[in-house]
Amino acid sequence: MKRFLILLALTLFSISPSFATSSDWQGIDKTQVRLISASQTLGTGKDLLLGLQFKMAEDWKVYWRSPGDAGYPPEVDWKASENFDQAEMRWPRPERFEVLGLETLGYKKEVVYPLVLQATDPSQTLDLNAHVRFLTCAEICVPVEVDLSLTLPAGKSEPSDFAQLINKYNSQVPRRDALDQLDLQETTLYVATDKKRGTVRLKTAADWVLTDPDALLEGPLELAFFKPKIALSEDQKTALIDVPFDGLQFLEKPITDETLTLTLLDGMRALEIHTKVAQEINGPVPSVEGFHALGATEAVSFSLMSIIGFALLGGLILNLMPCVLPVLSLKVLGLISHGGAQPSVVRLSFLASAVGILFSFMVLAGALIALKTSGAAIGWGIQFQQPLFLIALALIVILFAANMWGLFEINLPGWMSSLGARSQSKGIGGHFLTGAFATLLATPCSAPFLGTAVGFALSQGTFEIIIVFAALGVGLALPYIAIALFPGLATRLPKPGPWMVTLRKILALALIATAVWLLTVLWAQIGLDGTLALGAILSILMIVFALKAKLKAAHIPLMTALFLAAFIVPPLLKQEAPERAEAEKLWIKFDQDKISEHIANGQVVFVDVTAEWCITCQVNKNIVLYQGDAYETLQSDGVIAMKADWTNPNQKIADYLASFKKFAIPFNAVYGPGAPDGIVLPELLSEDDVLDAISKAKG
């Protein structure tokens, strides 16, 4: 009898309803999702805390509510649920991810989106049936749709095994109930004159010192907000948030009528703040005097004296950076040329080089002050963004190399020659120019401590810029100053002799390497054709120098023509990237049925399966499809570009991908008489991939 009762009890238990606090995992092998509950039962049926838990493989991610330049956030449809009233989805603080200048916001490895639910009747069982649509990306992006089910019985609320995990992520949701920590009178967005950026001033309460601030701005769908620059006051309690944005021209009503959402992240703190826009659209931007602009994630306040120390150290280390090392050839020759010389001669020549460095830094500081006063964008090494400057510098470097190879000599003016009479080698003017040349080549480099010093200086006034740049100049000139103070370092070297001719030719190779490096920088600005043209001009110029004895007087007009061609020809060959709107006209709508028809007519069809939320797709367009030879080829006769837009669900596109056993994008295929079944391209495109596939497809 006893055994019978035990068996009956086990049977009744097995057929009684059982409830779990999590759904099954669903998704793809790289990203799985499930529904979890912080409570085993309904309790009062109000403010039930659940979570949408994602686990991702290495380098895969899902997105925040405002995903950035691409992507879309998870969406949940509860229509199939029973005894369900409503739900609020919350968003933990995200990470920033950047791919070739395109930025997104989201999560990697694991995240739980907290869900706050309301049941209609707490005395009844809550049956949750959630249809979840989400995007997960690595190098490719996969849109996924799954159905998740979870049942919670009525009863007194009891915590589940997932309560701690859900609460952990719920604590990372930016708070809306802690705004008393800020001075809300200073949360207005001031729009700059160019209508491309705005500044928000935030002031914290007395007990909050900003340590590592970042800010995320959200507004109307027409506006795209980008990564801000943040400046901090000396006491680190006031922040100026400079936010670039775009799309103001697309707003149907004035931006002053909008309320924006600013999410402030600082260490473990996260606040969500509503921000108004200044009534006067070109109104006064809050003053930045006394603020330190150190970037969105680097916010440490320094005194002026510590910044000067950083500048001295950064300038000294700059002597060892790759872009300054080519000047080593000039330094070494200058040092050796003083072997056996009088200490006074050594001291004078090295002081001249140090003065050349300091003078050049003061010229650079003056130029930056003028640009800042005019409202232009300023920064360290900004002249290297100008192709004409790079061309001029490449010509100067080649002239130095030709001179060191003995292909020509520089005859100084009489006044400069008289200044150099006391020197055994080149005149004082030559040593001065050596220092100036070292400064010129130093500007694209960023040595340790240099970025902090320059960032501080450019955020301050005229006095701070001059002081910091003077300290940078002293740091770079310290080796010259040391030899000027202790000339015995140079006078004890062997006297100059024939061996120096060989050394000059070897060291000139460093200058040739510098010219090649300048060409690689120029390549990114004007394209391959213009860079190759300049390289050919520089090579011909060196040949003319070598043959000038045979060419006699003809070498002067020839070199003049080459100099002019260097400034005229490469810019003319610049590969201009088309405007995005113009480039989009390239495509026709995807129609799989017409591909075979186009092939029969001898045409090539390039199919691009893309979506606005696919960041790799945007990268492929920006760096390959919308510029250079690839863009020209896609525009040419006999080539048809088809765009399959998968931004919204489309079964025909999904079936097309499945026919290649593909379920993610980007996806590109090329069809033609030579490839009727299509040539599938890699996810990350290159210009060669596109051109080779089109060539093969033509047959």
Output the domain CATH number for residue 632. Answer: 3.40.30.10
In angstroms, rounded to a whole number, what is the distance separating the alpha carbons of residues 415 and 429?
Answer: 10
Strand, coil or helix: what is 76? strand
In angstroms, rounded to a whole number, what is the distance separating the alpha carbons of residues 427 and 374?
Answer: 38
Q: Mark whether 491 and 398 lie in a shared domain.
A: yes
Mean pLDDT of the chain: 77
If phi over 0 gives left and psi between -120 and 50 gives alpha, with beta otherwise, what is residue 381? left
Q: Mark whether 221 and 84 lie in a shared domain.
A: no
Backbone phi, psi, residue 339, to 5°: -55, 125
Q: Is the pLDDT of residue 298 over 70?
A: no
Q: Mark whether 490 and 458 lie in a shared domain.
A: yes
Q: Mark whether 562 and 642 lie in a shared domain.
A: no
Residues 6+ apart with CB under 8 A from 467: 304, 308, 457
pTM beyond 0.85, yes or no: no
Contact predicate 328/487, CB 8 Å: no
Q: Mark whether 528 and 399 lie in a shared domain.
A: yes
In a domain, 2, yes or no: no
Contact predicate 642/607, CB 8 Å: yes
Residues 6+ apart with CB under 8 A from 556: none
Q: Is the pLDDT of residue 26 over 90?
A: yes
Q: Is the pLDDT of residue 575 over 70?
A: no
Q: Mark whether 135 and 219 lie in a shared domain.
A: no
Q: Mark whether 629 and 508 lie in a shared domain.
A: no
Q: How confident is the model at residue 260 (pLDDT cuts 50, 70, 90)?
A: confident
| pLDDT score recorded for residue 255 | 79
Looking at the chain, how many residues does it have?
699
Q: Say which residue, 278 or 280, is predicted with more confidence.
A: 278
In a domain, 244, yes or no: yes
In a domain, 8, yes or no: no
Q: Mark whether 414 and 523 lie in a shared domain.
A: yes
In a domain, 278, yes or no: yes
* Structure tokens belonging to residue 256: 């002053």
Percent of the chain with pLDDT over 70: 72
Residues 6+ apart with CB under 8 A from 8: none
In a domain, 465, yes or no: yes
**Residue that finishes a domain, picked among 531, 553, 572:** 572
Partners of 216 in beta bridges: 263
Q: Is the pLDDT of residue 303 over 70?
A: no
In angstroms, rounded to a whole number, what is the distance separating the alpha carbons of residues 542 and 503?
Answer: 19
Q: Mark whether 310 and 288 lie in a shared domain.
A: no
Q: Is the pLDDT of residue 259 over 70?
A: yes
In a domain, 30, yes or no: yes
* Structure tokens belonging to residue 394: 């490449």
Q: Mark whether 500 and 641 lie in a shared domain.
A: no
Q: Is the pLDDT of residue 334 over 60?
A: no
Residues 6+ apart with CB under 8 A from 136: 27, 28, 30, 31, 56, 60, 61, 62, 142, 144
Number of domains into which the chain is organized: 4
| Distance from chain centroid for Cα 317 | 25
Percent of the chain with pLDDT over 90: 24
From 607, 624, 623, 626, select the one nearest 665 (Cα to Cα).
607
Q: Mark whether 109 and 132 lie in a shared domain.
A: yes
**Residue that finishes a domain, picked among 520, 551, 572:** 572
**Residue that finishes a domain, picked among 170, 187, 204:** 170
Residue 5: CB atoms within 10 Å: 9
Strand bridging mode 269-276 / 259-266: antiparallel
Q: How confident is the model at residue 542 (pLDDT cuts 50, 70, 90)?
A: confident
Report CA torsion sign: 555, 557, 560, 561: negative
Question: In Å, how far are 330, 333, 425, 500 from 484, measured between CA atoms?
Answer: 16, 16, 16, 22
Q: What is the extent of the structural domain holding 347?
A: 304-572
In angstroms, rounded to a whole number, what is the distance separating the alpha carbons of residues 226 and 216?
Answer: 8
Q: Mark whether 52 and 82 lie in a shared domain.
A: yes
In a domain, 3, yes or no: no
In a domain, 299, yes or no: no
Strands across the sheet with 675-680, in order? 588-589, 639-645, 604-610, 667-672, 675-680
| pLDDT score recorded for residue 252 | 78
Residue type present at position 293: A
Q: What is the CATH number of the domain that holds 44?
A: 2.60.40
In angstroms, rounded to a whole number, what is the distance separating the alpha carbons of residues 104 and 98?
Answer: 6
> Residue 253: exposed, middle, or buried by beta-carbon count in 10 A (0-12, 13-18, 19+)?
exposed
Q: What is the mean pLDDT of residues 628-653?
A: 89
